[in-house]
Structure 1
Amino acid sequence: MIPVQGFEGQKVAVLGLGRSGLATARALLAGGAEPLLWDDSPEARAKAEAEGFTCTDLMRHGAMEGVACLVTSPGIPHLYPAPNKVIARALEAGVPLDNDIGLFFRSVALGSWDEFDTVPRVVCVTGSNGKSTTTALIHHILQVAGRPTQMAGNIGRGVLDIDPPQDGEVVVLELSSYQTDLARALTPDVAVFTNLSPDHLDRHNGMGGYFAAKRRLFAEGGPDRAVIGVDEVEGRFLANQVAQGPQDDRVIRVSSGSKLDEFGWSVFARKGFLAEWRKGRQMASIDLRTVSGLPGAHNHQNACAAYAATRALGLAPKLIEQALHSFAGLPHRSQLVGERGGVRFINDSKATNVDSAAKALQAFPKIRWIVGGMGKDGGIASLQPFLGSVVKAYLIGHSARDFALQIGDLPHEICETMDRAVGRAAAEAEAGEVVLLAPAAASFDQYPNFEKRGEDFMAQVRTVIG
């Protein structure tokens, strides 16, 4: 646990008692603060009270009096589309807002660090797609290298729930736009921006607000090194804003598809090969085509970002290459479930929007595509340019029939359920083909989350392959 510093003897309100909220309450108490807890859910309040905390309705008259800070959980809106009623009350009263990320950065550096031979470092990863894989890959590379490391944030544990960093340790954090948007302190040593595509636009009042939330990690954080994906205009703009010029090697530009040999420091992948360039010279090359845990151009971009971040931490290219080959990937993200008769079964249940589904569809040459669920605005019509590798689509869930109308002449079958889709795809698939779950839709019509959807896919696959 990271005890929260700076609030000893003061009241700090905590809104939202999920994983991060309860971890925040414990860390505040450990730092000598008096936490005032609230959640609209009676079940969440009961869980907190079972730990010995007292819950206080933050909407009652006078509840904000003497409160030094209101710490809110990521899922609670603080501005758009409208502030939560408790947050609105805090804004009216002038009570500062923060989240667990802000508390982490104000509290993580302890006096004992002066005695360390090597000061701990913090790496933060943000972006639209690939940030979980990139975060986990950085963490894995560090483990293979024998560096002490912890992973937290939007993946794994809450940031205040980790152990205080030790001598030479690297803390790797995945940060969503909800987390970077509100944190009052953001001071990573290395900051990574993977890419940007439309998501969470209601919470940020459009793409401009969404990008601005991501940009805060760099503009306010002032990292020693910035690793920035430049395959979209927002990334190119961000790199331009952070760097003093094209030869400024504090910025490491990353691309999947573009050659970036004219900059001070860059890492890019082309035709399956990763290349590192510094000041006009190629420093290293890695054949990513043989890295089974990172298939497709989108994962090659993740590999480039993780490579750049760990190079910025001083790791050698050969060591990083070794670690890439032992990375198994994350569940529900281009995850190889099994193989039968030359047919591979890939679980990419995390592909909940058209952008991530497009990347999955470009990763394999011959695909039996399982798609559908609770469709998002615009459906899947924009995936038309990426359907050339699809042999047949098997449609499931609420939007199955709508999606069928949007894929043109592509052979398809409306299966509705996962078991029928997997069974039909497996029966028709031929050697060299891939049965791919890349839903391009939310899971909430049939499953509580994308993880449960992916687990169902894996269970059905295991039934089929024996």
Structure 2
Amino acid sequence: MIPVQGFRGQKVAVLGLGRSGKTAALALRAGGAEPIVWDDGQPARDAAHDEGFDVVDLTKSVAFDGVSALIVSPGIPHLYPKPHPVISAAWDAGVPVDNDIGLFFRSFATSEWDGFDTAPRVIAITGSNGKSTTSALVHHILVENGRSAQLAGNIGRGVLDIDPPSDGDIVVLELSSYQTDLARALTPDIAVLTNLSPDHLDRHAGPGGYFAAKRRLFAEGGPDRAVIGVDEDEGRYLANQLADHLADDRVIRVSSGQKLDQGGWTVFAKKGFLSEYRKGRQVASVDLREVAGLPGAHNHQNACAAYAACRTLGLSPKGIEAAMRTYPGLPHRSQVIAQVGGVTYVNDSKATNVDSAAKALAAFPKVRWICGGLQKEGGLAGLHASLDHVVRAYVIGREADAFARDLPGVDAAICTTMQAAVAAAVADALPGEVVLLAPAAASFDQYDNFEQRGDDFTAQVKTALAV
């Protein structure tokens, strides 16, 4: 655990007692603070009380008397669509509001580092899609190349739950917009933006607010090196703002699909080959076509970002390539479940928005597509260019009829349930086709989360195939 610095003997409030909130309370206590905690749910409050925490109703008018800071869990709105009442009360009382990411960055470095030969470093990875895969891939590459590394943040362990870093240790953090938006301290050594597409627009009051939350990691974080996906205008804009000139190698531009050879330091993938260029000349190449854990152009973009981040740490192209070939992939992200009778079954339940689903569809030429759920803002227009890969759609969710109507020219079966969709797709599928779960929607109309939805798909496939 990383004990939180700077609050010894002070009262600090924690709002929200999920994984990050509970860990923050423990880390505050480990650092000598006096945490008081609150959650809107009674079961979480009861559990905190049983663990010895002081449970205080932060909605009361005097709750912030003597409180030095309020630490907020990422799922709690702090500005849009409207601030949580406890956060409003903290503002009125003049109490600084922060989150566990801010606590991590203010507490990560300690006096023990004075005896290290190599200072620990932090790689922070954000973006709309692919940040989990990129984070896990960076961690895998580091470990496979003999580097001491820990993976945390929006994936794996909470940031304050990791072990205090050792000499030369590298911490890989996946950070969501919810986390970067509020953190009062953001000081990564290397920052990565995979891409940007519309998501969480209600939480950020539109695409501008969403981009601004991501941009804070770079503009306020001041990383030594920035790896920027430039396949969208926002990435191009950010790379331009961070670099003093085209050859400024503090900024590494990455892309999937376009050649970047005009100067500077670039990494791009085209036709299945990753290329690294410096000052307009190619210095390395990696064949991604046979890397089983990274199928499709969207994963090649992730590979480029991970490759670039690892190169900034001095890893060799050959060492990175060898590690990529052993990368197993993440559950629910282009995860191959089975291959039976020439048909491949792929679980991409994490494809919860239109952009990620479109990239999943584009990765395979003939798709039996299981889709549907709770639609996000903006509709399904962003999918239309990828629908020619769809042999047939099998639509699930409580609003399956409405979802199917937004898929022009697609043969769509209204299945509603995962069981019915999988059974129909398995019966219809022909050799050379892919049965793909890429919902393009949230899961909350039928499931608690995308993991539960992916697990259901996996179970139904195995039952239908008797594997």
Aligned length: 466
Q: 1:68 is paired with a residue of what secondary structure?
A: strand
Q: Please name the residue that 1:105 is paired with.
A: 105
Q: 1:338 is paired with a residue of what secondary structure?
A: strand
Q: Which AA in structure 2 matches 1:224?
A: D
Q: Please name the residue that 1:15 is paired with.
A: 15
In the TM superposition, what whole-angstrom CA distance separates every residue of 1:103-127 from its partner, at most 9, and x where no partner exists? 1001010111111111111000011
Q: Please name the residue that 2:318 is paired with.
A: 318
Q: Please name the residue that 1:141 is paired with.
A: 141
Q: How many angstroms does 1:448 deviate by? A: 1.1
Using the alignment, how far apart are the partners of 2:191 and 2:23 within structure 1?
24
Q: Please name the residue that 1:28 is paired with.
A: 28
Q: Please name the residue that 2:374 is paired with.
A: 374
Q: Which AA in structure 1 matches 2:199?
A: D
Aligned pair 1:430/2:430, yes or no? Answer: yes
Using the alignment, how far apart are the partners of 1:416 and 1:114 within structure 2?
60
Q: Please name the residue that 2:129 is paired with.
A: 129
Using the alignment, how far apart are the partners of 1:457 and 1:274 within structure 2?
32
Write the mapping of 1:87-236 to structure 2, written as runs, cut at 5 A.
87-236=87-236
Q: 1:212 is paired with a residue of what secondary structure?
A: helix
Change (3 A) 1:301 1:405: same
Q: How many angstroms does 1:309 deviate by? A: 0.3
Using the alignment, how far apart are the partners of 1:371 and 1:213 within structure 2?
29
Q: Which AA in structure 2 matches 1:243?
A: A
Q: Please name the residue that 1:410 is paired with.
A: 410
Q: Is the 8 A contact 2:201 2:377 kept in 1?
A: no
Q: Is the 8 A contact 2:274 2:304 kept in 1?
A: yes
Aligned pair 1:243/2:218, yes or no? Answer: no
Using the alignment, how far apart are the partners of 1:288 and 1:61 within structure 2?
58
In the TM superposition, what whole-angstrom CA distance separates every residue of 1:373-396 from its partner, at most 9, and x where no partner exists? 122334324322111111111111
Aligned pair 1:64/2:57, yes or no? Answer: no
Unaligned runs of 5+ in 1: none
Using the alignment, how far apart are the partners of 1:411 and 1:45 within structure 2?
49
Write the mapping of 1:271-310 to structure 2, written as runs, cut at 5 A.
271-310=271-310
Using the alignment, how far apart are the partners of 1:302 and 1:372 within structure 2?
25
Q: Is the 8 A contact 2:397 2:445 kept in 1?
A: yes
Q: 2:276 is paired with a residue of what secondary structure?
A: strand
Write the mapping of 1:431-446 to structure 2, written as runs, cut at 5 A.
431-446=431-446
Using the alignment, how far apart are the partners of 2:77 and 2:414 within structure 1?
37
Q: Is the 8 A contact 1:263 1:279 kept in 2?
A: yes
Q: How many angstroms does 1:443 deviate by? A: 1.1
Which stretch shows the higher mean deviation, 441-450 or 226-235?
441-450
In the TM superposition, what whole-angstrom CA distance separates every residue of 1:13-58 from its partner, at most 9, and x where no partner exists? 1111111111011111111111111111111111111111110111
Using the alignment, how far apart are the partners of 1:319 and 1:460 within structure 2?
38
Q: Which AA in structure 2 matches 1:11?
A: K
Using the alignment, how far apart are the partners of 1:126 and 1:377 within structure 2?
21
Using the alignment, how far apart are the partners of 1:377 and 1:213 within structure 2?
18
Using the alignment, how far apart are the partners of 1:76 and 1:429 within structure 2?
43
Q: 2:55 is paired with a residue of what secondary structure?
A: coil
Q: 1:444 is paired with a residue of what secondary structure?
A: coil
Q: How many angstroms does 1:449 deviate by? A: 1.0
Q: Which AA in structure 2 matches 1:340?
A: V
Q: Please name the residue that 2:347 is paired with.
A: 347
Write the mapping of 1:249-264 to structure 2, written as runs, cut at 5 A.
249-264=249-264
Q: 1:387 is paired with a residue of what secondary structure?
A: helix
Q: Is the 8 A contact 1:12 1:69 kept in 2?
A: yes
Q: How many angstroms does 1:78 deviate by? A: 1.1
Using the alignment, how far apart are the partners of 2:377 and 2:65 within structure 1?
43
Q: Is the 8 A contact 2:355 2:382 kept in 1?
A: no
Using the alignment, how far apart are the partners of 1:329 and 1:366 within structure 2?
22
Q: Which AA in structure 1 matches 2:134?
A: T
Q: Please name the residue that 2:55 is paired with.
A: 55
Q: Is the 8 A contact 1:375 1:398 kept in 2?
A: no
In the TM superposition, what whole-angstrom CA distance separates every residue of 1:72-127 from its partner, at most 9, and x where no partner exists? 11111111111111110111111111110011001010111111111111000011
Using the alignment, how far apart are the partners of 1:218 and 1:382 within structure 2?
28
Q: How many angstroms does 1:409 deviate by? A: 2.7
Q: How many angstroms does 1:408 deviate by? A: 2.3
Q: Which AA in structure 2 matches 1:227?
A: V
When normalised by structure 1's length, the TM-score is 0.98
Using the alignment, how far apart are the partners of 2:70 and 2:249 within structure 1?
39
Q: Which AA in structure 1 matches 2:308?
A: A
In the TM superposition, what whole-angstrom CA distance separates every residue of 1:129-153 from its partner, at most 9, and x where no partner exists? 1101100100110110111111111
Q: How many angstroms does 1:160 deviate by? A: 0.5
Identity, in percent, stands at: 70
Q: Please name the residue that 1:394 is paired with.
A: 394
Q: Is the 8 A contact 2:334 2:346 kept in 1?
A: yes
Q: How many angstroms does 1:416 deviate by? A: 1.6
Which stretch shows the higher mean deviation, 372-381 or 446-455?
372-381
Using the alignment, how far apart are the partners of 1:181 and 1:373 within structure 2?
27
Q: Is the 8 A contact 2:77 2:203 kept in 1?
A: yes
Using the alignment, how far apart are the partners of 1:95 and 1:170 within structure 2?
33
Q: How many angstroms does 1:302 deviate by? A: 0.3
Using the alignment, how far apart are the partners of 1:456 and 1:181 within structure 2?
33
| Structure 1 outlier segments of 4+, above 4 Å | none
In the TM superposition, what whole-angstrom CA distance separates every residue of 1:139-183 from its partner, at most 9, and x where no partner exists? 110110111111111111110111101111100000011111111
Unaligned runs of 5+ in 2: none
Q: How many angstroms does 1:371 deviate by? A: 1.0
